[in-house]
Every structure is written in structure tokens, then in C-alpha cells.
């Protein structure tokens, strides 16, 4: 599915709460949906309603995707990609551009001095959290975050017609 950026409906917020196991905080919009229609990535405000700065602008909510990305992390993909950043100038340059894209996307929703210049996921120098990088890649679309794109490419494909548990819970 292609990225979107649509306001979260009341049903979306219910699904997100079910996915996370807690009420969502600072949701601006749904930035990507799973094939089943449930939110999979949300765009969050750079500052929560209580005033807390929050640098993670794109947040992965789908439990299925979260589990699959955790498997990639457990398999050492973060170390592998961090190493590739040191040897592949094209990947390194693309990752720096992804960092700048992330910052610009967040700044559209407010400047927060406490997190100025800080993106997420380890950008632009290392790979610290694949969850954030996959969320950014899905929200921004292919070609924006090359490290996130590499992780997305390694995610197992879900059989068509199989709904996510989060979309069927009521």
C-alpha cells in the first residue's frame, strides 16, 4: 500500500489503542495503512499534550509489523546496516537525506528546541531502531529512507486476504 496522511478517525484511534495496548498520545494522522485497512503507522506531534518533547514523528503501530521488525533486529540487521553506512557512500548519503526529510516533516508540525536536529532511529550516523526507520519508510514511500526500505524489503509478505488481528478486534 502507498503512504497516506489522513486524520485519524475515532475508529482509527480505537484500533491504535488496541494495537498499542494503551491510549495513543499525540496522534496527528494515520500515515500508512496495512492491506487490511487498519492503521500501521501514525504521525505524532513533536510535543505531547503534556508538553513532553517527542522526536519519533512516525510511529509503527501494527503489532504484526512490530513483531516482524523486532525479528529483523534480533537477527542483527541494525549492526549490519550500521556497518554498511561506513562502507557504502550512496547508502550513507541517502540516509543523511532521510534524516533531513524526517526533520522537515516533523518541523511542519511545530518547532521543539529540545529536539532540534534530532531525528530518530539513529539517523544520520547509525542504525539504532528499525521500527522507526520502517515507519518512516512506509509513511514517506519508497526511496526516501534507504535503510528503512532495506528493512521493509526483508519483511515477510503477508498472505492476501488474511486480516490483521488488530483490524478484526472489537
What is the dihedral sign for C-alpha 24, 27, 29, 30?
A: negative
Give the predicted TM-score (pTM) of the model: 0.92
Q: Which of 30-39, 114-123, 153-162 has the lowest mean pLDDT?
A: 153-162
- Reported as a single tens digit per residue, the pLDDT across 122-169 is 999 999 999 999 999 999 999 999 999 999 999 998 755 555 654 444
41 within domain boundaries = yes
Q: What is the dihedral of CA 4, 34, 140, 85, to 10 degrees?
A: 180
Let me know: does 142 contact 124? Beta carbons within 8 Å.
no
170 within domain boundaries = no
Per-residue confidence band for 3, with pLDDT thresholds at 50, 70 and 90? low
53: three-class secondary structure by DSSP: strand
CA-nearest of 150, 66, 140, 49 to 103 is 140
Let me know: does 32 contact 3? Beta carbons within 8 Å.
yes
80 within domain boundaries = yes
Arithmetic mean of pLDDT, 27-49: 94
Residue 100 in grid coordinates: 533531513
151 within domain boundaries = yes
166 within domain boundaries = no
5 within domain boundaries = no
Residue 165 DSSP code: H
CA-nearest of 75, 47, 39, 51 to 167 is 39
Which residues constitute the domain of residue 134? 10-159
Tell the residue number behind the cell numbers 532540534, with chain if given: 116
Residue 85 in grid coordinates: 553506512
How many distinct structural domains can be found in the chain? 1
167 within domain boundaries = no
The percent of residues above 70 in pLDDT, for the chain, comes to: 91
pLDDT at residue number 35: 82
- Reported as a single tens digit per residue, the pLDDT across 59-80 is 999 999 999 999 999 999 999 9
71 within domain boundaries = yes
Amino acid at each position: 500500500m502507498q503512504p497516506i496522511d489522513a486524520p485519524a478517525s475515532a475508529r482509527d484511534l480505537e484500533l491504535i489503542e488496541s494495537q498499542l495496548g494503551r491510549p495513543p498520545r499525540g496522534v496527528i494522522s494515520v500515515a500508512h495503512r496495512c492491506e487490511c485497512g487498519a492503521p500501521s503507522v501514525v504521525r505524532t506531534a513533536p510535543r505531547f499534550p503534556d508538553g513532553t518533547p517527542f522526536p519519533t514523528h512516525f510511529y509503527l503501530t501494527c503489532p504484526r509489523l512490530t513483531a516482524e521488525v523486532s525479528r529483523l533486529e534480533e537477527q542483527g540487521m541494525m549492526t549490519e546496516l550500521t556497518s554498511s553506512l561506513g562502507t557504502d557512500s550512496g547508502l550513507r548519503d541517502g540516509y543523511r537525506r532521510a534524516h533531513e526529510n524526517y526533520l522537515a516533516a516533523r518541523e511542519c508540525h511545530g518547532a521543539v528546541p529540545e529536539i532540534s536536529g534530532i531525528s530518530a532511529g539513529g539517523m544520520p550516523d547509525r542504525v539504532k531502531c528499525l521500527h522507526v526507520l520502517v515507519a518512516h519508510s512506509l509513511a514517506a514511500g519508497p526511496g526516501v529512507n534507504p535503510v528503512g526500505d532495506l528493512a521493509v524489503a526483508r519483511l515477510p509478505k503477508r498472505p492476501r486476504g488474511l486480516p490483521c488481528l488488530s483490524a478484526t478486534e472489537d
